[in-house]
Structure 1
Amino acid sequence: MRIDRGEVLSGLIVIAIGAWFAYGASDYRMGTLARMGPGFVPYSLGLISMGLGALILLSAFGREGRVPSFDWRGMIFVLGAVGLFAWLLPRTGLIPAAVAAVVVAAAGSPLTHPPAVPFLAAAVAAGAWVVFGLILGIQMPLLRSPF
């Protein structure tokens, strides 16, 4: 029988994360569909994740594949970008923090085209401002002097 081991591993990880969320939300009041309690959404998303994980797992059967090698460089740069964003946001504002995070995360891939990074950083910063500032109305400074 042919099995894609990478898909099996991916499906099991998604199922485990969904189960973790559903179990954690079971301590909260669920409420009803009309009056949702604090546990309703995380529990529902946990169940949905478990279902999607099962679909990923089932799609692994009938084709061959192997577990891909782990990309340590990408993981370190992406986690570093998230940490840098969290550290810079209260000190410099949304725009510089988003730009810095994109630049650091882009350095994590050898396939990154350096001339495209400034455009990507500008697009992410503008998108973050539109989503968080304009649509959601979250009050955060766009630019702040760190001095």
Structure 2
Amino acid sequence: MPRSINGFQVCTAALLGLLGLYVIVQGGSYEMGSLRRMGPGFFPVMVGSVLLLFAALLAVEVRHSAPETGVWIPRPILAIAAGFVAFAVLLERAGLVPATLALVILVSLADKPVRPVAAVVTALSLSALGVLVFIYGLGIPVAAFEW
């Protein structure tokens, strides 16, 4: 008996591929440059290429997977969106560390079950790494804590 194609997930992969193609076409209108001296079109074309690759891999992976029958749960989307909004709001007002802590804690609420210890350890680790890489390593002018 042939397996049916999971149309919803294949269409989702196709939309991701179309987004990748759009980004490639739009980025291709800018100068590409080289690996040593990247032009303004280099990064969008590379991101679009990665999106296109992910779309192809996703389509192959989910082509014959069983369709999900569960009810759509908005909690993961809302938790991730809230994390991004909190990071954007807190970065200039409170600093990199509180913004990263809020981002990771809010995004961890999307997972089921919620693991508070793992979320706090991850938030603290990413905050420390962010300070080391972005403030000290790259010299980005953002405060770790804004008092």
TM-score bracket for this pair, using the shorter chain length? 0.7 to 0.9
CA RMSD of aligned residues (A): 2.4
**Cα distance, 1:72 vs structure 2:** 0.9
TM-score (norm 2): 0.80
Aligned-partner residue type, residue 92 of structure 1: A
Specify the alignment match of 1:111 in structure 2: 113
In the aligned structure 2, how far is the partner of 1:7 from the partner of 1:91?
40
Specify the alignment match of 1:66 in structure 2: 67
Identity %: 27
CA displacement 1:37-60 (0-9 Å, x = unmatched)? 211231133134213322322333
**Cα distance, 1:77 vs structure 2:** 1.3
Aligned-partner residue type, residue 143 of structure 1: F
**Cα distance, 1:142 vs structure 2:** 0.5
Aligned-partner residue type, residue 89 of structure 2: W
**Equivalent of 1:75 in 74, 77, 80:** 77
List runs of 5+ in structure 1 lacking aligned partners.
none
The equivalences for 1:7-46 within 5 A come to 7-32=9-34, 35-46=37-48
Specify the alignment match of 1:101 in structure 2: 103
The equivalences for 1:101-140 within 5 A come to 101-140=103-142
**Cα distance, 1:98 vs structure 2:** 1.0
Aligned-partner residue type, residue 127 of structure 1: L
Which fold has the larger relative contact order, with Cα–Cα distance below 8 Å and residues 6 or more apart in sequence? 1
